[in-house]
Structure 1
Amino acid sequence: MGTVRPILDFKEIENAKDRLQDVVKETKLIYSNIFSSECGNQVYIKPENLQVTGSFKIRGAYNKIGKLSSEDKQKGLIAASAGNHAQGVAFAAQKLGTPAVIVMPKTTPLIKVEATKNLGAEVILHGDCYDEACAYARELEKEKGYIFIHPFDDLDVIAGQGTIGIEILEELKDADYILAAVGGGGLLTGIAVAAKSINPNVKVIGVEPEGSPSLKLSIDSNRIIDLDSVKTIADGAAVKKPGELTFALTKEYVDEIITVSDYELMEAFLILLEKHKLIAENAGVLPLAGLKRIADKDKKVVCVVSGGNIDVLTISSLINRGLVSRGRVFCFTMELPDKPGQLMRVCEILARNNANIIKLDHNQYKTLYRFMQVQLEVTVETNGHDHVASIIDDFQKEGFTINKVY
């Protein structure tokens, strides 16, 4: 597939910054001791989760819609989004006095659907992922004569997102790396064009979920790849196919695309919540999860936490899984002789290892020899993987064989 080299002049990003002056919040960098110590670099967080609509998407949407003619605005707007672009378009449309219809995948978290409706947009749920919602939005565009606001493959949208790059380097002139999440690539490429225009030596890295690596595979193959399916907890980055503009801009301006697992996302989410008291959605923590992939040390690294629109049930699930992934919750089973004092021995070992029991199930019906042995399942609160290893070692010294569940 041939792609036309996109021209995105840095002046367009500067103009977008002026246009957004009284619209977006100032999201100052936050230095992170914990993420810095975890990866051996000086890590700064750009908290776009604190933005007006809970994500960076307001920047691109407002810049695009703000540039439309009065005639186009009267036609009405249509967009497809897994959530954050929807709110950006709805907010901008409401502020600029134009109607908006948003097509969202059926899998979109309820909090994002309701937030979009509350901003005055009409919401249509269609398809199981962004790409299916987008295809339907395109049909409605032709049928109704709406103006389509693309979430990433549009130079005005990309320019709006690029204002983040200007802000980062205004505040931290000597930044060595900027890490940004990748869905369709609009955020990444906007930041890359802006950052490289100011300082060609800064490295810009995109971070994608392992279950949705469309841009990385496209760059590696030197052609746009359309994935058959995507599977990741980062719903905001679950895009099967990058844009032609973002693909071309990535080739020219982006240094590297890396991927991270859902488990790494859960860990990053938990650290951000626990240590910084900041809530981000799964796609929002992609750059933080990608920090350990940077081989360089003692560099100044900025991670753009791109959004924080997440429902309470998902937060609860992520906390629990993050605790397991970090070794903060340890569950194991063991078989004990069915005689007095055995359970006390287990509790004594856990007590001297400062492991707090969360749950304990003493069940003689789970073993083959129910009159001779019982199965014990224990869940304890721990301080990390080293603590878990120490507990296992102590049990082994006492002659117990334990089986780790998680």
Structure 2
Amino acid sequence: MRAGSRKTLRRRVVGSRPSLVGLFASFERLIPILRGVVRRWLDIAWREPLKSFVGATNRTRPWIKLGSFVSSFRKKGYSLDYLKRILNAKVYDVAIESSLSLAPSLSQRMGNKVLIKREDEQPVFSFKLRGAYNKMAHLSADQLACGVIAASSGNHAQGVALAAQKLGCSATIVMPRTTPSIKVDAVRARGAEVLLEGESYSDCYEKARSLAQAQGKSFIHPYDDPDVIAGQGTIGMEILRQHQGPIDTIFVAVGGGGLISGVAAYVKAVRPETRIVAVQAADSDAMIQSLETHSRVNLTSVGLFADAVAVKQVGTETLRLCEQYVDDWITVSTDEICAAIKDAYSDCRCVLEPAGAISIAGLKKFGAEHGIEGKTLVAIACGANMNFDRLRFVAERAVLGEAREALLAVTIAEEPGSFLKFCELLGPRSVTEFNYRFAGGRQAHVFVGVEVNGRTETAKLLDEFGAAGLEVADLSDNELAKLHVRHLVGGHAVGTGGERVYRFDFPERPGALMQFLRVMNRGWNVTLFHYRNHGADVGRVLVGMQIPDVDVDAFHQFLTSLSQLGYVYCDESANVAYIRFLGLHQ
């Protein structure tokens, strides 16, 4: 037999009777395949759910060495205690995972992807039930049997009341007298006892503390408590779970600091590159002042428009966490808050309370000031307990907050026809308000509101008036003008003999006021004029005119022609309100 044949035979014999070495070699070839199968099983069974739970986004490292993770975590200054507290927080017995909604219109205007965390969807229309329930769920049976007490401006009170109802214990809430009735009624509806005390949260705090000590009740702090902070921190956990992609900045409303402390503690542990920005009302900025001075500032007074964040002094623990985790801060005005309420309604069809919209106002202002574009920005809408009668004020101030209305004081010549000439200077711009009352002399002062597209157009309008020789003052940021003067222009007239006052209604549409002025331009002296565009289908104007006796017939013909054009009018010359407050001074 030839050598080649023997080799072939030997190979066949070996192949038909496998040795241990051959088996091992075959198994060795299977190891990479088995490793891949096991890795994939572990990936499906453990890594993906864990990543989804904590919101991790690093897909390049499928395995996490716990020791190195903890070491790195501590080196960066992060506390495992708060991460663990938040992951184990007991909130979902009463709270829901609120939605993270895209704000399409706001996103388009800003050139960013704007997401709104909708805590207004909670059963008590605010995030506060998270921290309240988490704290109370950690109380012992004996502590619950003694009852709980809290100091709150409203939202925390509702959270405590709901938690007490769920856990079967009594609750007493000390609330400021300035709390909106909608919040007081909601707390009482859940079976809690309400005591009204002072003007702000800080005024209620001492009262609640003394009652807690005297009655043996557990005091549930609205923000300066680790369990409360951890409960609020679940919002940060949800945000990162709901949006797996990069988030540039999260904007958080701040009162005492419980919400931002919890959210920041979690987000900085999981995605330290995400910025946290604190947003406060300009007249209630205790946290920002405290961060700037590195001490707990005690404000002498706070603004009450955004009552849910009207806190004179922040917490010790919340300040510590904010100093560690908060990247930046910004304040917003009342008008900017109102504009943010309008933005939320436009994009989400929700009506937020002022404190609930503060984060959106901050997002808009911060983005504009820093030129942020092409980023993902998140604002936490933290509450929607709004009194209905506040909506009128919000609607009126929102246009100022978004710089879409300019309020101006203009001086014109006191002579027939000057009023129309002034209106013609406005061009195609819509007039939102006119207030004028004849007071004698050679000059007339007109209070006018004009629809504009930002402050740049306001500046252009001022230049145009100046070029026409008119004296003009911008009152858009003048609180006295916005709150009072616009409604008080007038007083008893001097030298307006023969004045007739009529109220006119006409179809409201662009240019309708100018058309009305042209129709009534018959050379008679206008002594009184008031108009306000309320966004309704009908425009309403109050007009006073000096009609000489020789022109009475012509005036009645004028009224008839107006009626034929569809203008509805009513003679108010004998109205007691006109006689007492606006008529000829006796």
TM-score bucket of the superposed structures, by smaller chain: 0.7 to 0.9
**1:178 is matched by which residue type in structure 2?**
I
From 441, 456, 467, the equivalent of 1:368 is: 441
| Residue matched to 1:328 | 404
Alignment pair present for 1:59 and 2:130: yes
Q: Greater shift after overlay, 301-310 or 382-391?
A: 382-391
Distance in 1, matches of 2:178 and 2:350, equals 24
| Residue matched to 1:255 | 327
Native 8 Å contact 2:412 2:422 kept in 1: no
Distance in 1, matches of 2:475 and 2:300, equals 33
* Cα shift readout 1:285-325 (whole Å, capped 9, x = no counterpart): 22222223253542211110111111123222122122223
Q: 1:86 offset after TM fit, Å?
A: 0.3
Show the 5 A alignment for 1:159-178.
159-173=230-244, 174-178=246-250
Q: 1:47 offset after TM fit, Å?
A: 1.3
Distance in 2, matches of 1:148 and 1:356, equals 54
Show the 5 A alignment for 1:23-172.
23-172=94-243
Native 8 Å contact 2:431 2:448 kept in 1: no
Q: 1:334 offset after TM fit, Å?
A: 3.6
The percentage of aligned residue pairs carrying the same residue is: 39
TM-score by length of 1: 0.88
Native 8 Å contact 1:230 1:240 kept in 2: yes
* Cα shift readout 1:315-343 (whole Å, capped 9, x = no counterpart): 22122122223333334344444544333
Native 8 Å contact 1:76 1:98 kept in 2: yes
Alignment pair present for 1:220 and 2:292: yes
| Residue matched to 1:10 | 83
Alignment pair present for 1:318 and 2:394: yes
Alignment pair present for 1:268 and 2:344: no
Relative distance call for 1:376 and 1:234 in structure 2 (3 A) is closer
**1:207 is matched by which residue type in structure 2?**
V
| Residue matched to 2:448 | 378
Give the 3-state SS of the residue equivalent to 1:8 in structure 2. helix
Distance in 2, matches of 1:405 and 1:227, equals 29
From 312, 316, 320, the equivalent of 1:240 is: 312
Structure label with greater radius of gyration: 2
Distance in 2, matches of 1:143 and 1:357, equals 57
Q: Greater shift after overlay, 389-398 or 311-320?
A: 389-398
Native 8 Å contact 1:210 1:259 kept in 2: yes
1 or 2 for the larger relative contact order (CA 8 Å, sep ≥6)? Answer: 1
* Cα shift readout 1:191-210 (whole Å, capped 9, x = no counterpart): 11221222222222222223
Relative distance call for 1:217 and 1:23 in structure 2 (3 A) is same
Alignment pair present for 1:355 and 2:426: no
Q: 1:355 offset after TM fit, Å?
A: 1.2
Distance in 1, matches of 2:434 and 2:105, equals 30
Q: Where does structure 1 lack aligned partners over 5 or more consecutive residues? A: none
| Residue matched to 2:279 | 207
Distance in 1, matches of 2:147 and 2:471, equals 67
Q: Greater shift after overlay, 93-102 or 255-264?
A: 255-264
Q: 1:51 offset after TM fit, Å?
A: 1.6
* Cα shift readout 1:344-365 (whole Å, capped 9, x = no counterpart): 3334444x4141454453x331
Q: 1:391 offset after TM fit, Å?
A: 4.5
Distance in 1, matches of 2:271 and 2:470, equals 60
**1:328 is matched by which residue type in structure 2?**
R
Native 8 Å contact 1:232 1:262 kept in 2: no
